[in-house]
Chain A
Amino acid sequence: MNLNSNIPEGPLAQKWQSHKAHIKLVNPANRRKYKVIVIGSGLAGASASATLAELGYNVSCFCYQDSPRRAHSIAAQGGINAAKNYQNDGDSVYRLFYDTIKGGDFRAREANVYRLAEVSGNIIDQMVAQGVPFARDYGGLLDNRSFGGAQVSRTFYARGQTGQQLLLGAYSQMSKQIGLGKIKMHNRHEMLDVVLVKDAEGVPHAKGVIVRNLLTGEVEKHSADAVLICSGGYGNAFYLSTNAQGCSVTAAFRAYKRGAGFANPCYTQIHPTCIPVHGTQQSKLTLMSESLRNDGRVWAPKNKDTAAKIRAKQMKATDVPETDRDYYLERKYPSFGNLAPRDISSRAAKEACDDGRGVAPGSGNGVYLDFAESIGRLGESSIAERYGNLFEMYERITGENAYKTPMMIFPAVHYTMGGLWVDYNLMSNVPGLFVLGEANFSDHGANRLGASALMQGLADGYFVIPYTLGNYLAQVGAGAPALDNPAFAEAEASVKAFNDKIMSVQGDESARDLHIRLGHILWEKCGMARSKESLTQALAEIPALREEFWKRVRVPGDSKDLNIELERAGRVADFLEFAEVMVRDALQREESCGGHFRVEHQYPDGEAKRDDENFAFVGVWEYQGENKAPTLEKEPLKYEEVKFATRSYK
């Protein structure tokens, strides 16, 4: 694998400017000769599609939902970061850059992160120009709130629906281009393979995709000059997560099977404030935005007996006297308090529950997020103004009124920092295959800070890819291959064979049941805390489960027709294979960093112990063929600007 990061020369703060000034451009009159395939219509895919179409490229965009507006970016609640320093509280591009590097536990690439911080301000300008109704103060200026891991207020928000508003903004720009015929939108299509076609020197380039029309079951071939994967994260490997039902690793994983490196798959983010699991019929977990920690205080009872009484419903949260409450984040991290980063807050919640102080009936897995103090200070109406829709959502799901009694929360799988490996230009090791948004690995290291994913998706789509894609296209020249190229036939046949294989099993178990079992393995053994022992067990259990899948899965109906069980089974099959890569990665990383906590590697006070000497690298996995172990390659992380430091939020 070629893992050259292609980071431009020069001082960190000038790399992007100078790169933009020197890379190749496609002349406006020639752009219409190029065709670009975009997989996904979330913030990354929609912003890329809209901008590329506006520049004059012909774009074909695919999503599995019935409309591009429904991509899971829509669900982001809390906000989007930008180094605008509108609050005059000491923010700057450098500070956002540094916070992101530190938040990512020194496992992200400096140059990429700096660029992200640098373009962040433009994103807000762009979104406002599109009509995104961000929150404003009475003077008409934009308002900000704080998010975890930062000591400045740099998060822009639109009530508790920031992702929705940003996505609808990007969708509107995309819609304009669809109306103009520059984007061809393919709703309800799922990408199942990328097609690589060799150039004159015999180097394979990504030149197309194989998709399945989910309404008709028809398998289609599409060719282009380049392919952009913007397919989101793989948190649903765990079955229960805050992701949407259709989120999967499929697009990224099928690209991996064609040779794209998968970077840092073990870096998964477990979000500290989600509504706890209620029972076995549950299909998803619901996030309660991190922004709530601006005004909510996290606590668990100090006393195990008190917790036991609450679990047995003999006592209520409001009955617990102040003296018996442990506001553990405020106690352990006085300078960040309730706004400690996610990985740290999640682990602290787990610790309290493992210690027998959890309060959720049944499992015990729950702690409190309490607004009583801020309601006392600011009044219920101020809290309702800020978080009303979240309180309503909480009540709908749990039947409880969080103005009167604290919310009960517990960590849940939320985001995946790992993803397909990309260089500075967002191109994978496969030429012509670009990866944007959550689907790539690039900017968040081992832990993402809140409100930075929306920023990254839009930075990638609006402000990075229009330049870097042009640079690639100008070099290869226009000319999407004809569909009768044998590479298309081969890929199409392999997709059909895969689907037929699933259909042919006709066993006695549903894909969902098998997925639930995979989720248990990953959550227990590769979740918030991992050990050599648990990971080794997982590495034995996952292949066994996979084997069971291929013997027992039952998919009714026909593959050449709308078939929701076939869709599900295909995604589960990929998760079953991918999970193993994830576990291998967690096993090789003999250190704790960010969302990856290895119990063997911790300080006596329970804080994560990084090993910069041996693990300051991106772990990139290369597919070696069916039933063969993938191989690991390493991209060393060199820090020129910042110095490794133990991450402390105390």
Chain B
Amino acid sequence: MSSEGMKITLRMWRQKNKSAPGKFVEYKLSGVSEDSSFLEMIDILNEMLVHKGEEPVVFDHDCREGICGMCSMTINGVPHGPERKTTVCQLHMRKFKDGDVITIEPWRSKSFPIIRDLIVDRGAFDRIIQAGGFISARTGGTQDANAILISKPVADYAMDAAACIGCGACVAACKNASAMLFVAAKASQLNSLPQGKPEKDRRVLAMVKQMDAEGFGNCTNFGECQAACPKGITLDHIAQLNRDYLVAGVKKTLGLLK
């Protein structure tokens, strides 16, 4: 890294609240270390603004290690930015060039209303989980953990699905703003495990119903969600969800589900 660091121009989305009109504001930064993370670069901007007495850019972030799913912004049109399988908090400035102009916006989806600047309301995801994204397991009174044998491939498959961090990049990337990848990941994890089988049908029906109620769009298999997913969740979970949903729907029609 040269001692001066990088010069970067930001085109940053600023919006006061849900109903106020938003716009891009340009900011110029210099001295950005290429070892800094993308969010540390925004910290530099915010420090500059605070020192001038201006309000900093509001963005969601917490763990800064790619696991809490809080960070969420679209960089040059790509949710979480250019590096594959990487959340924006793990993206580093060495992936950019000195002099770059970078456009930063919030997730865009009507189911994720903008709150301010780069933060949106992702409560819809929580409500989908509340509707059915769980296995009912009362505390205490469970059997010994090794009494349930789960073969390694099944455990691995469940873990692949369970890696979802609930960031919402899949929705932001999808031109229909579909939440299928998110819903499918959770359903796949729970439905594939023996512990999750008893509630399988109920679960998929309830989660999909809530997903639709939240106004997410339909999945038309473009696969942008998979490309944008920082945790590498794959489309086969969506296929699995579609199958599980079909089966549950048939059972329901036949009156086999109470």
From A122, A135, A163, A510, B51 is in contact (CB under 8 Å) with A510
Residues on A with beta carbons closer than 8 Å to the beta carbon of B151: 136, 138, 140
A548-565 residues with Cβ-Cβ distance < 8 A to B are: 554-557, 562, 564-565
Check if B190 sits within 8 Å of A131, measured CB to CB.
yes
Distance in Å: Cβ of B143 to nearest Cβ of chain A: 7
CB-based contact B40/A396 at 8 Å: no
Verify if A215 is at the interface (C-beta below 8 Å from B).
Answer: yes
Q: Which of A133, A282, A564 contacts B58 (CB 8 A)?
A: A564
* B175 beta carbon closer than 8 Å to chain A: no
A residues 48-83 with Cβ under 8 Å of B?
50-51, 54, 65-72, 74-75
B83 at the interface (CB under 8 A from A): yes
User: 0/1 per residue, A493-526, Cβ < 8 Å to B?
Assistant: 0000000000000101010110000000000000
Give complex CA distance A274, B125 in Å. Answer: 32
Query: Which residues of B are found within 8 Å of A131, using beta-carbon distances?
Result: 134-135, 137, 158, 189-190, 193, 195-196
Q: Does A339 contact B (CB under 8 A)?
A: no
Q: Is B116 close to A, CB under 8 A? A: yes
Contact A129 B143 (CB under 8 A): yes
Given contacts A67-B126, A69-B126, A131-B158, contact A74 B145 (CB under 8 A): no
Taking a contact as CB atoms closer than 8 A, the residue among B39, B135, B139, B163 that contacts A172 in the complex is B135
Q: Residue A397 at the B interface, CB < 8 A?
A: yes
Q: Give the nearest-CB partner of B52 in chain A.
A: A556
Tell me how many residues of A have a C-beta within 8 Å of chain B: 83
Asked if A122 contacts B140 (CB within 8 A), the reply is: yes
Question: Do B64 and A393 touch across chains, with their CB atoms under 8 A apart?
Answer: no
Contact A283 B64 (CB under 8 A): yes
Q: Which of B35, B60, B94: most chain A Cβ within 10 A?
A: B35
For A215, the chain B residues whose CB sits under 8 A away are 115
B55 to A70, Cβ gap below 8 A?
Answer: no
Interface residues of B in 124-178 (CB under 8 A from A): 125-126, 129-131, 133-140, 142-146, 148-152, 155-156, 158-159, 162-163, 165-166
What's the nearest-Cβ distance from chain B to residue A506, in Å?
8
Contacts of B249 in A (CB 8 A): none
The reply to whether A397 and B90 form a contact with Cβ atoms under 8 Å apart is: yes
A235-269 interface with B by 8 A CB criterion? 244-246
Q: Which residues of B contact A72 (CB under 8 A)?
A: 62-63, 68
Q: Which B70-88 residues have C-beta < 8 A from chain A?
A: 70, 83, 85-86
* Contact across chains for B142 and A140 when beta carbons are under 8 A apart: no
Question: Is A283 in contact with B142, judged by CB distance below 8 angstroms?
Answer: no
Q: What does the 1/0 interface line of A119-151 toward B look like (CB < 8 Å)? A: 000101111111101111111111000000000
Cβ of A159 within 8 Å of any chain B Cβ, yes or no, is yes
What residues of A have a CB within 8 angstroms of the CB of B196 in the complex? 131
Q: A198 contacts the other chain (Cβ, under 8 Å)?
A: no
Collect the chain A residues with CB atoms within 8 Å of residue B116's CB.
562
Q: A136-B152, A466-B139 are contacts. A179–B56 as well, Cβ < 8 Å? A: no
Is A621 in the interface zone, CB < 8 Å from B?
no
**B206 nearest CB neighbor, chain A only:** A179
Distance from B88 Cβ to chain A, minimum over Cβ atoms (Å): 11
A130 near B63 with CB under 8 A, answer: no
Q: Which of B49, B67, B131, B144 has the most CB of A within 10 A?
A: B67
Q: Within the complex, what minimum Cβ distance (angstroms) separates A128 from chain B? A: 4
Max chain A Cβ within 10 angstroms of own Cβ: one of B134, B163, B189, B196: B134
Q: B residues within 8 A CB of A421?
A: none
Q: Which residue of A lies closest to B210 (CB)?
A: A179
With contacts A175-B130, A281-B40, A283-B37 taken as known, whether A565 is within 8 angstroms of B50 at the C-beta atoms is yes
Q: Is B47 an interface residue (CB 8 A)?
A: yes
- Asked if residues B56 and A142 are in contact (CB atoms below 8 Å), the reply is no
- Does A284 make an interface contact (CB < 8 A)? yes
Query: Is A84 in the interface zone, CB < 8 Å from B?
Result: yes
Q: Are B135 and A130 in contact (CB under 8 A)?
A: yes
A327 within 8 A of B: no
Q: Which of A71, A164, A283 contacts B39 (CB 8 A)?
A: A283
Cβ-based interface call for A650 (8 A): no
Complex interface bits, B37-59 against A, C-beta within 8 A gives 1, otherwise 0 = 10111011001011101111010
**Chain A residues near B152 (CB-CB < 8 A):** 136-138, 140
- Asked if A126 and B137 make an inter-chain contact with CB atoms under 8 angstroms apart, the answer reads yes
Q: A72-B68, A141-B149, A554-B51 are in contact. Are A168 and B162 (CB under 8 A)?
A: yes
A625 on the B face (CB < 8 A): no
B221-245 near A? 1/0 per residue, CB < 8 Å: 0000000000000000000000000
Task: Indicate if the CB atoms of A556 and B63 lie closer than 8 Å.
Answer: no
| CB-nearest residue of chain B to A124 | B145
User: Does any Cβ of B come within 8 Å of A488's Cβ?
Assistant: no
Q: A165 an interface residue at 8 Å Cβ cutoff? A: yes
Beta-carbon contact of A245 and B67 below 8 Å: no
Q: When chains A and B are docked, how far (Å) is the Cα of A178 from the Cα of B128?
A: 11
- Chain B residues near A396 (CB, 8 Å)? 66, 83, 86, 90-92
Measured in the bound complex, the distance between the Cα atoms of B225 and A144 in whole Å is 34
CB distance from A22 to the nearest CB of B (A): 18
Q: Does A171 contact B (CB under 8 A)?
A: yes
Q: Which of B32, B121, B144 contacts A125 (CB 8 A)?
A: B144
Q: B97-138 vs A: 1/0 string, CB under 8 Å?
A: 000000000000000000110010111011001110111111
Contact A130 B137 (CB under 8 A): yes
Q: Which of A67, A142, A178, A282 has the most CB atoms of chain B within a 10 A radius of its CB?
A: A67
CB pair B40 A244 closer than 8 Å: no
CB distance from A63 to the nearest CB of B (A): 10
When distances are taken between beta carbons in the complex, the residues of chain A under 8 Å from B134 are: 130-131, 172-173, 175-176
B202 near A: Cβ within 8 Å?
no
Closest chain-A Cβ to B230's Cβ sits at a distance in Å of 11
CB-CB under 8 A for A284 and B64, given A51-B139, A397-B90: yes
B189 touches A133 (CB 8 A): yes
Asked if B26 lies at the interface with its beta carbon under 8 angstroms from chain A, I say no
User: Given that A75-B67, A397-B90 are known contacts, is A65 also in contact with B62, CB under 8 Å in the complex?
Assistant: yes
Residue among B70, B137, B152, B158 with most chain A CB within 10 A: B137
* Chain A residues closer than 8 Å to B58, beta-carbon distance: 562, 564
Whether B32 contacts A281 by the Cβ 8 Å rule is: yes
* Inter-chain contact A133/B158, CB cutoff 8 Å: yes
Which chain B positions have C-beta within 8 A of A178? 126, 130
Given A133-B159, A556-B55, CB of A245 within 8 Å of CB of B61: yes
Q: Quick one: closest A residue to B47, CB to CB?
A: A510
> Cβ of B162 and Cβ of A133 under 8 Å apart?
yes
Proximity bits, A325-337, B CB within 8 Å = 1, else 0: 0000000000000
- Are B150 and A140 interface neighbours, CB within 8 A? yes
Residues of B near A510 (CB, < 8 A) are 47, 50-51
Tell me how far the C-beta of B127 lies from the nearest C-beta in chain A, rounded to whole angstroms: 8
Q: Are A129 and B135 within 8 A (Cβ)? A: yes
In the complex with contacts A128-B148, A140-B152, A397-B90, A74-B67 CB distance below 8 A: yes
In the assembly, what is the distance between CA of A131 and CA of B195, in Å?
A: 6
Is A279's CB within 8 Å of the partner chain B?
yes
Cβ of B51: which chain A residues have Cβ within 8 Å of it? 508, 510, 554
Mask for B183-207, Cβ within 8 A of A = 1, else 0?
A: 0000001100101100000000000
Q: Kindly identify which residue among A69, A125, A513 contacts B166, using a CB–CB cutoff of 8 Å.
A: A69
Closest to A562 in B: B116
B92 adjacent to A399 (CB under 8 Å):
yes
Q: Which of A66, A126, A171 contacts B129 (CB 8 A)?
A: A171
Q: Closest CB-CB distance, B180 to chain A, in whole Å?
A: 19
In the complex, 9 of the A-B residue pairs with CB atoms within 8 angstroms, ordered by the A residue number, are A70-B63, A75-B65, A125-B143, A161-B67, A168-B162, A175-B134, A396-B90, A556-B56, A562-B58
Binding site for B on A (CB under 8 A): 47, 50-51, 54, 65-72, 74-75, 84, 86, 122, 124-131, 133-142, 158-159, 161, 163-165, 168, 171-173, 175-176, 178-179, 185, 187, 215, 244-246, 278-279, 281-284, 286-287, 392-393, 396-397, 399, 462-463, 466, 506, 508, 510, 512-513, 554-557, 562, 564-565
